[in-house]
Amino acid sequence: MTSALLTGVRFAVLMGGAAAEREISLQSGENVALALEGADCRVTRIDPATEQWAEQLSGIDFVFNLLHGPGGEDGVLQGLFDVMNLPYSGSGVLGSALTMDKVRTKQLWLGMGLPTPEFALLTADTDWSGLIEQYGTLFVKPALEGSSIGMSKASTPEQLEAAWERARAYKGGVIAECFVAGAEYTVSILGDRALPAIRIEPASEFYDFDAKYVSDSTGFFCPSGLTASEEAELAALALRAFAAVDASVWGRVDVMRDIAGAWQLLEVNTIPGMTSHSLVPMAAQAASMTLIDLMAEIYRLSMEARYAS
């Protein structure tokens, strides 16, 4: 059934790009391209960082977009493909743009009564001492970058200012989020279905870029160790959070569980990684899906989303 669904479709796999997660995008794209080719699909690899890349879209039936971060995950290319009437994977313009903006994502969640850590925007005029006194330990990260780019932890005014300096090297504002002590989970979304949750135990102090993409010491647990009722509660929350920001088709919702047992939403990824360290394929495997099964379902759901009446 999987191969029949994909038979005859001319696929483009978008990978690379010019954002900070370029190398991860190249790995994700190659992983997907090889899976499609293994199912006898016709695949064209396209890197938008090259000149006249759009000309390679001629004759393409469907785009698997594996570009991570600004320029690929933020609604820009989604809008282009809509104008071209070219079907593509994942969320549309609005969902992509909202989820790329951590501040507006959290504002929407708060407006809907969904739990997310308190936060503040950092500028050159920020009262570093006052913010540490108010919140204690903070996570600092660029507001318009990928989930593990430019992030650091700060427990003193000096650390907070230094973290802001690091994060503001990227485009967009800088957000400081109240530190949540507890276990970290991620829930992969596929259509209106939540795949089995994964509990993350980073080898380093927190789940940064190296822990996510490089280290072989980070622990990923699926089953997550939650009870059936806890798993169902987390799945329902993740689906609500995903829908709240108009995300669709597939993605990943990152969540913390604080020491009191309460869930705290962190962010949504509308184009998660598809590398050997990536979590969506891991969750799909726990749901008895191969990588090509996953890609076929993303294709099916995307086509439904693009051409829904």
Work out the mean pLDDT of the chain and round it to a whole number: 92
Catalytic residue, chosen from 31, 89, 96, 147, is: 147
The pair of three-digit structure tokens given for residue 86, joined into one six-digit string: 């070219």
Question: Is 173 one of the annotated active-site residues of the chain?
Answer: no
Q: Of the residues 17, 75, 146, 252, which is catalytic?
A: 252
Cα angle value 112/116/120 (rounded, 5°): 105
- Give the DSSP letter of residue 224: -
Does residue 157 have a pLDDT over 90?
yes
Of 173, 175, 180, residue with least CA distance to 115: 180
Whether 4 has a pLDDT exceeding 90, the answer reads no
- Catalytic (active site) residue 273: yes
Q: Which letter, b or e, does each residue of 216-228 get, where b requires 16 or more Cβ atoms within 10 Å of its Cβ?
A: eebebebebebee
2 — pLDDT class (breaks 50, 70, 90) = low
Q: Please tell me the predicted confidence (pLDDT) of residue 211.
A: 47
Q: Answer whether 16's CB lies under 8 Å from 48's CB.
A: yes
Percent of all residues in the chain with a pLDDT value above 90, rounded to a whole number? 85
Residue of 267, 278, 297, 302 marked active site: 267
Catalytic residue among 184, 254, 297, 302: 254
Which of 224, 269, 278, 302 is labelled catalytic? 269
Q: Looking at this protein, which amino acid is placed at residue 129?
A: S
Mean pLDDT of 148-162: 92
Percent of the residues in the chain that have a pLDDT greater than 70, as a whole number: 93
> Can you tell me the distance from the alpha carbon of 197 to that of 205, in angstroms, rounded to the nearest whole number?
21
Mean pLDDT calculated for residue range 196-207: 80
* Strands, E assignment, the chain: 10-14, 42-46, 62-65, 119-122, 138-142, 152-154, 174-178, 182-190, 193-194, 198-201, 219-221, 250-258, 263-269
Q: Look up the CATH architecture of domain 2-89.
A: 3-Layer(aba) Sandwich (3.40)
Q: Is 267 a catalytic residue?
A: yes
Q: 297 catalytic, yes or no?
A: no
**Whether residue 269 lies in the annotated active site:** yes
Q: What is the pLDDT of residue 309?
A: 46
Strand partners, 121: 175
Q: Is 172 assigned a catalytic role?
A: no
d(CA 191, CA 217): 31
pLDDT of residue 307: 76
Calculate the CA dihedral of residues 92, 200, 171, 105 and round it to 10 degrees: 50
10-64 pLDDT, tens digit per residue, is: 999 999 999 889 999 999 999 999 999 999 999 999 999 999 999 999 999 999 9
Tens of pLDDT, residues 258-308: 999 999 999 999 999 998 789 999 999 999 999 999 999 999 999 999 876
Domain parsing of the chain, residue ranges:
2-89, 99-115+181-286, 119-178
The reported pTM is: 0.92
The alpha carbon of 271 is separated from its chain's Cα centroid by a whole number of angstroms, namely 5
- Rounded average pLDDT over 162-180: 94
Is CATH 3.40.109.10 correct for 119-178?
A: no
* Catalytic annotation, pick one of 17, 21, 47, 91: 21
Written as six digits, the tokens of 127 are: 């009262």
Long-range Cβ pairs for the range 293-296 (8 Å, 24+): 293/2, 294/190, 295/6, 295/32, 295/35, 295/36, 295/64, 296/1, 296/2, 296/5, 296/6
Residue 21 known to be catalytic = yes
For strands 138-142 and 152-154, give the pairing. Answer: antiparallel
Predicted local confidence at residue 216, as pLDDT: 62
166 is catalytic: no
The CATH homologous superfamily for domain 99-115+181-286 is: ATP-grasp fold, B domain (3.30.470.20)
The active-site residue, picked from 170, 207, 213, 299, is 213
Q: Which of 12-16, 145-149, 223-227 has the lowest mean pLDDT?
A: 145-149
Catalytically annotated residue among 273, 297, 299, 302 = 273
